[in-house]
Structure 1
């Protein structure tokens, strides 16, 4: 990850503590943290950036002692979408469907479709007929609970929303559900179907890989999170520009306006933080100072 040279003023801000509305947050001793402070560029108050994981065992969610203080000190919370808006979630149910006359059955050869059908019937106990029009990448999310070793699971975003409500913070989103649905429309349905079948065929291997993802996320090692996105097993390396890079650029454009007006807590998938095109590096290129915050 490229690190820009820091001025003396920035170095002074990068001491062991920083203050925002009377709240002091300790700097992490290295970059292995999911929580980052955004300051500099004449901002009147710091904002915070946090990397999430969409589904995980509830006991494994890495909320450190300082995270709630960071939320308390900000004005609003920004997520990928406004997830506390019922209209957003209800509208999303329709936008999960494939366009045109595409159906799951049309995307597979007969023997492939039977394999997918059997898996949904036997392992998920749901008839595949219910999901004929759903985009295969959304169907893949239904497999995630099969990969977790616990019964009580939750999304990191879900738990952050609870903290936002406890602290009376409004939740806003960078994107609409329609935009996110369009992102998945831009990836050929045939390719999505192939990845779904590949996951079903190699579920045990994917469980081990998913376990690695969870362990790396819990350890908050950003360099290892970045490595995972280049692995062929993850099924994303050919679409990183669509799924991550372009969206990151768009969010930074929005943040250039948002950060001038208010202090915000930003919570997006951890994969959006890392790499040359990750939010940490892109925000630094815009002239902001990003400081790792202890999240233990």
Structure 2
């Protein structure tokens, strides 16, 4: 693959937290399972109030074209009073702002061979983010998302269009729908790094070398995740225990406090990474336990 320098690289990598859990969800789906649904959209209703809300499981590498094709999801968003998403992009408090304020630089020659380091330098040549101040974990997270967008979804290297989550946010703003973030960008960055805290340098080196090689060779054999999501034949494994306490269980539990309160007051469109809807700690299971009726809705 002949590398193309990105003219504007919006470093919104942190919402790619989804990629840390998705590997546990990629087993072939069982459509006859009671927790298998051919959708990523669910209606949320209760006998205690008249509000009608929706859960929408996102994949952050997708964007405008994908969401615009989902007529029912667009109708659901339009019917709501507030959009609830993982985080809000606030000027001065975005990932690039947080990273650029750091005073410590990573010695990348300890993590990347000369050729790979040159590739990264070229990639970030016109980026507002100082890659020298990123951690190896943050770099891997960014490159992993870049791989999914450029190789798996064939997104043009100079395409600066929004991620799926942020595109939904822009649609909500156009329709005067209020926005609510469940956590801050800073909290998400801390989680990304804490999730692999203590990982040996040799493991970081191997992961970075592998993902750069996949991008260079346009290795679409590793695109199961995006293929799986776009097909929307998903086993939500609602009876399966969550295995990642930090990224899934703890965050879901924290989010539920805000979500349950807002569902009683407003018609809400909740757009979060698909894995947060899955498993016994997911939002679907937790809302069911609170007495809500969760109804799968076709997105088109």
TM-score (ref. length: structure 2): 0.70
CA distance in 2: counterparts of 1:289 and 1:38, whole angstroms: 6
Written as runs of structure 1 = structure 2, the 5 A alignment for 1:252-271 is 252-271=256-275
CA positional deviation for 1:268: 0.8
Secondary structure of 2:295's match? Answer: strand
- In structure 2, relative to structure 1, the CA distance for the partners of 1:42 and 1:270 (3 Å cut) is same
CA distance in 2: counterparts of 1:283 and 1:135, whole angstroms: 36
Q: Can you give the 5+ residue segments of structure 2 that lack an aligned partner in the other structure?
A: 1-35
CA positional deviation for 1:42: 1.1
Please tell me whether the aligned partners of residues 54 and 269 of structure 1 are also in contact (alpha carbons under 8 angstroms): yes
User: Is 1:51 aligned to 2:51, yes or no?
Assistant: no
Q: Deviations over 1:224-250 (max 9, x none)?
A: x87xxxxxxxxxx98x33222221121
Please tell me whether the aligned partners of residues 78 and 267 of structure 1 are also in contact (alpha carbons under 8 angstroms): yes
User: Which structure shows the bigger proportion of residues in helix conformation?
Assistant: 1
Equivalence for 1:105? 108
Equivalence for 1:183? 191
Equivalence for 2:230? 218
- In structure 2, relative to structure 1, the CA distance for the partners of 1:197 and 1:287 (3 Å cut) is farther
Structure 2 residue aligned with 1:42, among 48, 52, 57? Answer: 48
CA distance in 2: counterparts of 1:217 and 1:102, whole angstroms: 36
Q: How many residues align?
A: 247
Structure 2 residue aligned with 1:244, among 233, 245, 248? Answer: 248
Please tell me whether the aligned partners of residues 96 and 181 of structure 1 are also in contact (alpha carbons under 8 angstroms): no
Secondary structure of 2:49's match? Answer: coil
CA positional deviation for 1:37: 0.9
Q: Deviations over 1:13-69 (max 9, x none)?
A: xxxxxxxxxxxxxxxxx7211111111251321111101121236434474222222
Secondary structure of 1:175's match? Answer: coil
CA distance in 2: counterparts of 1:57 and 1:75, whole angstroms: 22
User: Is 1:150 aligned to 2:148, yes or no?
Assistant: no
Equivalence for 2:211? 199
- In structure 2, relative to structure 1, the CA distance for the partners of 1:87 and 1:133 (3 Å cut) is closer
Please tell me whether the aligned partners of residues 63 and 167 of structure 2 are also in contact (alpha carbons under 8 angstroms): no
Structure 2 residue aligned with 1:82, among 88, 103, 120? Answer: 88
Moved more, 211-220 or 169-178: 211-220
TM-score (ref. length: structure 1): 0.71
Please tell me whether the aligned partners of residues 96 and 135 of structure 1 are also in contact (alpha carbons under 8 angstroms): no
Say which one has the larger Rg.
1
- In structure 2, relative to structure 1, the CA distance for the partners of 1:212 and 1:35 (3 Å cut) is same
CA positional deviation for 1:87: 3.8
CA distance in 1: counterparts of 2:246 and 2:70, whole angstroms: 31
Please tell me whether the aligned partners of residues 51 and 271 of structure 1 are also in contact (alpha carbons under 8 angstroms): yes
CA positional deviation for 1:291: 0.6
Secondary structure of 2:55's match? Answer: strand
Please tell me whether the aligned partners of residues 35 and 51 of structure 1 are also in contact (alpha carbons under 8 angstroms): yes
Q: Deviations over 1:93-124 (max 9, x none)?
A: 24347978562437x35xx44353033246x3
User: Is 1:285 aligned to 2:297, yes or no?
Assistant: no
Q: Can you give the 5+ residue segments of structure 1 that lack an aligned partner in the other structure?
A: 1-29, 227-236
CA distance in 2: counterparts of 1:53 and 1:71, whole angstroms: 17
